[in-house]
């Protein structure tokens, strides 16, 4: 007897297969008389938002909805995964609505990184990607840094209208929203879910004093994120948890660095110089001779060179080479989803490798 079960909280179709997708409820919940999805359950009992991943199609519907509504769009990106957490196409949908860009996880940056330089780079990159945010803020949703400033800015830019918070999975959107909930709603259990017009999707609605609301939209899965090529345990390894400790490698030409098995940097030509790696403190970096690198990767992907652990290494798309000659006195080679490597002095010839679909790019150093 196959019958469709609906969540009494938000009306979404219940499924028990995938915890990360909309409508999930644990199998035990099905025995109850009234069924409620895990997301609504947490909202109801803990006043807490959980992240739920959306398919592309659903996300397009939401973008459409936002384009037709009037309000401020708050877009959250992960500063360690700027390109991987970018939502391509958002600018085509938002219409006249303003977009406020928020870079999260600023607590991970070493003190030497200049916030203004990072903001400047985010501004330039946004422009190149077709988006002109009204303002850019750096925050740590988990530590609370910068949250008051960003909330004041939201209040200012929304001009009495609604606010839509968007972002792809893993950027820290739930953490961000949960902080706002704490600030905006004192005690009362006033948060509700409501439908997106024209869809069966629900969004979380945090009422504001003037009758407008902040809406949390479910996160989208961005298939180009490094995070989707590794399993949960490996994701823990590549995601920095604490302030990053830069690791310095003095390289001679024709030397290679492997970042687990997920990325690779060949120093092809130029004198001895430092390469400073800004990545998760737990990520294993392996140095070898360039001439041995291909062979080493073939033999040792999944063991010496991990993450990805061996059971996952087949799912990893092949590494793609990006060739660069560095022109600035200090250049960051950015591996989306991992971090970056700062190369000192101009003129170095390098080849940077990342899995197909994952962005590698250069920027002027943030130091």
Three-state secondary structure along 145-199?
CCHHHHHHHHHHHHCCCEEEEEEECCCCHHHHHHHHHHHHCCCCCCCEEEECCCC
What minimum distance in Å lies between the beta carbon of 346 and ligand GDP?
33
**Number of other CB atoms surrounding residue 186 within 10 Å:** 7
Determine the Cα–Cα distance for residues 255 and 7; give it in Å rounded to an integer. Answer: 57
Residue from 22, 100, 108, 206 touching ligand GDP (CB under 6 A): that is: 108
Candidate list 39, 61, 105, 224; residue touching ligand GDP; CB under 6 A: 105
Minimal distance in Å, beta carbon 82 to ligand GDP? Answer: 14
CA 6 to chain centre: 30
> How many residues form the binding site for ligand GDP (CB under 6 A)?
18
Q: Is 174 in the site for ligand GDP (CB under 6 A)?
A: yes
In the complex with ligand GDP, the residue whose CB is nearer, 75 or 173, is: 173
| DSSP letter, residue 338 | T
Residue (227 or 326) nearer to ligand GDP, CB: 227
**Residues facing residue 265 across a β-bridge:** 257, 352
- Please say whether the beta carbons of 256 and 266 come within 8 A: yes
> What is the rounded distance in angstroms from the CA atom of residue 363 to the CA atom of residue 206?
38
Nearer to ligand GDP, 101 or 305 (CB): 101
Stretch that binds ligand GDP, among 134-142, 284-292, 297-305, 320-328 (CB under 6 A): 134-142
Question: Among residues 140, 225, 306, 331, which is the contact residue for ligand GDP, using CB under 6 A?
Answer: 140
Residue 163 pairs in a beta bridge with 72, 214
Q: Which is nearer to ligand GDP, 91 or 143 (CB)?
A: 143
Write the burial class of residue 136 (CB in 10 Å: 0-12 exposed, 13-18 middle, 19+ buried).
buried
Query: Nearer Cβ to ligand GDP, position 177 or 265?
Result: 177
332 near ligand GDP (CB under 6 A)? no
For ligand GDP, which residue of 84, 167, 302, 307 counts as binding (CB under 6 A)?
Answer: 167
Contact with ligand GDP (CB under 6 A) among 169, 225, 256, 280: 169
CA separation for the pair 127, 110 (Å, rounded): 26
CA distances, 36 to each of 9, 23, 196, 197, 298 (Å): 6, 9, 19, 21, 48
From 59-67, 167-175, 253-261, 350-358, give the range in contact with ligand GDP by CB under 6 A. Answer: 167-175
| Binding span for ligand GDP by CB under 6 A among 105-113, 199-207, 292-300, 341-349 | 105-113
From residue 6 to residue 35, the character string flagging contacts with ligand GDP as x (rule: CB under 6 A) and all else as - is ------------------------------
For position 175 contacting ligand GDP by CB under 6 A, the verdict is yes
Listed residue (172, 181, 176, 179) closest to 207, CA to CA: 181
Asked if residue 102 binds ligand GDP (CB under 6 A), the reply is no
Could you tell me the smallest distance in angstroms from the CB atom of residue 50 to ligand GDP? Answer: 8
Cβ distance to ligand GDP smaller for residue 141 or 360: 141
Q: Which helix (H) or strand (E) holds 363?
A: strand 360-364
We find the least distance from the C-beta atom of residue 216 to ligand GDP, in angstroms, to be 9
Of 71, 218, 219, 260, the residue at the interface with ligand GDP (CB under 6 A) is 219
Neighbours of 262 (CB within 10 A): 28
Q: What is the Cα gyration radius of the chain? A: 22
In whole angstroms, what is the distance from residue 348 CA to residue 179 CA?
Answer: 44
- For 290, the 3-state DSSP assignment is helix
Candidate list 107, 162, 202, 266; residue touching ligand GDP; CB under 6 A: 107
Verify binding: residue 222, ligand GDP, rule CB under 6 A: no
Q: Which residue ranges make up the site for ligand GDP (CB under 6 A)?
A: 51, 104-105, 107-108, 140-143, 167, 169-175, 219
């Amino acid at each position: 007897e196959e019958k469709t079960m609906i969540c009494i909280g938000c009306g979404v179709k219940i499924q028990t297969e995938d915890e990360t997708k909309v409508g999930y409820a644990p199998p035990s919940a099905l025995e109850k008389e009234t069924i409620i999805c895990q997301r609504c359950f947490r909202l109801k009992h803990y006043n807490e938002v959980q992240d739920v991943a959306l398919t592309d199609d659903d996300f397009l519907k939401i973008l459409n909805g936002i384009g037709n509504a009037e309000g401020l769009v708050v877009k959250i990106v992960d500063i360690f995964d700027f390109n991987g957490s970018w939502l391509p196409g958002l600018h085509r949908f938002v219409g006249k609505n303003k977009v406020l860009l928020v870079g999260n996880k600023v607590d991970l940056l070493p003190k030497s990184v200049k916030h203004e330089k990072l903001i400047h780079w985010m501004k330039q990159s946004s422009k190149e990607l077709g988006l002109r945010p009204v303002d850019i803020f750096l925050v740590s949703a988990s530590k609370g840094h910068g949250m008051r400033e960003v909330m004041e800015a939201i209040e200012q830019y929304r001009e009495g209208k609604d606010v839509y918070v968007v972002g792809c999975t893993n950027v820290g959107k739930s953490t961000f929203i949960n902080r706002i909930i704490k600030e905006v709603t004192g005690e009362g259990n006033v948060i509700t879910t409501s439908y997106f017009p024209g869809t069966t999707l629900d969004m979380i609605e945090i009422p504001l004093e003037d009758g407008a609301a902040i809406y949390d939209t479910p996160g989208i899965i961005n298939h180009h994120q490094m995070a989707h090529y590794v399993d949960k345990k490996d994701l823990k390894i590549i995601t920095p948890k604490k302030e990053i400790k830069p690791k310095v490698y003095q390289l001679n030409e024709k030397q290679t660095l492997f970042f687990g098995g997920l990325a690779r940097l060949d120093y092809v030509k130029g004198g001895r110089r430092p390469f400073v790696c800004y990545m998760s403190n737990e990520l294993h970096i392996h140095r070898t001779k360039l001439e041995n690198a291909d062979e080493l990767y073939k033999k040792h992907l999944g063991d010496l060179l991990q993450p990805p652990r061996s059971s996952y290494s087949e799912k990893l798309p092949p590494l793609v080479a990006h060739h660069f000659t560095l022109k600035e006195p200090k250049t960051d080679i950015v591996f989306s989803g991992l971090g970056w490597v700062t190369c000192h002095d101009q003129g170095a010839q390098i080849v940077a490798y990342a899995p197909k679909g994952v962005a590698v790019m250069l920027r002027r150093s943030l130091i």
